[in-house]
């Protein structure tokens, strides 16, 4: 395998010789929040102590999209971003299994024997307390521990990470973001929430107002509450300050949700390029203004407020966190 690799496909297509002995963190890892990060850290620590290859095992699509589509959650991050964060945290090998009826039809014993042992060569496995596996989700943590003892791999059950008296979870973060509380989400994610997508052609109104914007076709399924946000924009290998509007442009009678970012002191063409928008603080709700002049005044206030928030201390944190 290459030093950094990502396998994506059916469990049957994993070459039997791809791994030797592994330490595996298993999860959906939606958002890769603090709880997921603890799982990954435990697997990495075990790999270092026991001389194993560290592997993150996840699934695509989310199991509920196959098993119960009407109950499937809106995902916090697209697969590419999830894999990027997992690698950033130090996990060099990521296995993304196609979650299909074929995989789900495996009994807990078959999943442990065929996938974990034969394909992935598991010697150490880390899962959360609520981990379920196998046909009809019959396997639980106790069964995995028992199977590990029989098959020769150690199992560690990671207790929930608690923040403000409650477990950190993807569900909790989704609820927080739907209320626009991006600072609370930052605390649970360990980093600001990021919207990723390509810059597409917009209506061109921003330039006419004196505040050109990059209009983003978001890859994220979950979009936070509408409003104006102070943001950092990751573009062309740089981290830039700006403001972003998530909403419907009510002053112009808009009906389609749009995500637009105005980058301070920036005039380069980003059309067709992929960027990331980190939401730092929600400044205000989206409003319908009586005329364009009132809208321009509001944007000027937004820019001034955002510049005050996005001081060098926060920028320094970003560079140390993402580019160290």
Compute the distance between CA of residue 180 and CA of residue 227 in angstroms, rounded to an integer.
Answer: 8
CATH code: domain of residue 248: 2.40.30.30
Q: Which pLDDT belongs to residue 43?
A: 98
Residues 6 or more apart whose Cβ sits within 8 Å of residue 70? none
pLDDT tens digits for 221-263?
999 999 999 999 999 888 899 999 999 987 667 678 999 999 9
Model confidence pLDDT, tens digit, residues 153-211: 999 999 999 999 999 999 999 999 999 999 999 999 999 999 999 999 877 666 657 68
Q: Is the pTM of this model over 0.85?
A: yes
The pLDDT, as a whole number, for residue 215 is 95
Q: Residue by residue, what is the 3-state secondary structure of 257-318?
A: CEEEEEECCCCCCCCCCEEEEEEEEEEECCCCCCCHHHHHHHHHHHHHHHHHHCCHHHHHHH
Token duo for residue 17: 């010789």
Q: Would the pLDDT of 35 be above 90?
A: yes
Q: What is the CATH number of the domain that holds 65?
A: 3.40.50.620
In whole angstroms, what is the distance from residue 30 CA to residue 90 CA? 17
Q: Taken in order 24, 78, 128, 69, is the CA torsion positive or negative?
A: negative
User: What is the model's pLDDT at position 315?
Assistant: 60
Residue 156's domain comprises: 5-163
What pLDDT is attached to residue 261? 96
Q: What is the average pLDDT across 283-294?
A: 87
Q: What radius of gyration do the chain's Cα atoms show?
A: 22
What pLDDT digit, counting tens, does each position of 111-140 carry?
Answer: 999 999 999 999 999 999 999 999 988 999
Q: Which helix (H) or strand (E) holds 23?
A: strand 22-26
Q: Which of 144, 163, 182 is the last residue of a domain?
A: 163
Q: Tell me the catalytic residues.
A: 260
- DSSP 8-state symbol, 256: S
**Together in a domain, 206 and 141:** no
Say what the pLDDT of residue 204 is.
65
How large is the angle between the packed helices 182-189 and 170-178, nearest 10 degrees? 160
63 and 120 housed in the same domain: yes
């Amino acid at each position: 395998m290459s030093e950094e690799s990502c396998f994506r496909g059916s469990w049957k297509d994993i070459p039997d010789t791809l791994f030797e002995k592994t330490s595996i963190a298993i999860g959906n890892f939606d958002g890769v929040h603090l709880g997921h990060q603890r799982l990954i850290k435990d697997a990495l620590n075990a790999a270092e102590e026991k001389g194993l290859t560290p592997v993150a095992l996840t699934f695509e699509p989310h199991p509920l999209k196959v098993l119960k589509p009407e109950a499937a959650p809106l995902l916090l991050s697209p697969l590419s971003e999830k894999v990027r964060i997992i690698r950033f945290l130090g996990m060099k090998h990521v296995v993304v299994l196609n979650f299909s009826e074929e995989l789900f039809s495996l009994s807990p014993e078959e999943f442990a024997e065929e996938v974990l042992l034969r394909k992935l060569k598991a010697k150490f496995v880390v899962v959360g307390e609520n981990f379920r596996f196998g046909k009809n989700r019959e396997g639980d943590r106790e069964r995995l521990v028992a199977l590990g003892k029989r098959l020769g791999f150690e199992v560690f059950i990671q207790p929930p990470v608690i923040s403000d008296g409650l477990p950190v979870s993807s569900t909790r973060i989704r609820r927080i973001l739907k209320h626009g509380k991006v600072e609370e989400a930052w605390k649970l994610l360990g980093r600001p929430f990021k919207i990723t997508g390509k810059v597409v052609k917009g209506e061109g109104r921003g330039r006419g107002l004196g505040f050109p914007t990059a209009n983003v076709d978001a890859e994220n399924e979950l979009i936070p509450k509408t409003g104006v946000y102070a943001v950092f924009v990751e573009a062309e290998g740089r981290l830039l300050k700006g403001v972003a509007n998530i909403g419907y442009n009510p002053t112009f009678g808009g009906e389609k949700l749009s995500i637009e970012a105005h980058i301070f002191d920036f005039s380069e063409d980003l059309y067709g390029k992929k960027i990331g928008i980190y939401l730092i603080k929600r400044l205000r709700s989206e409003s319908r203004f009586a005329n364009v002049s009132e809208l321009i005044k509001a944007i000027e206030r937004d820019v001034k407020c955002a510049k005050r928030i996005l001081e060098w201390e926060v920028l320094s944190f970003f560079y140390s966190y993402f580019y160290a």
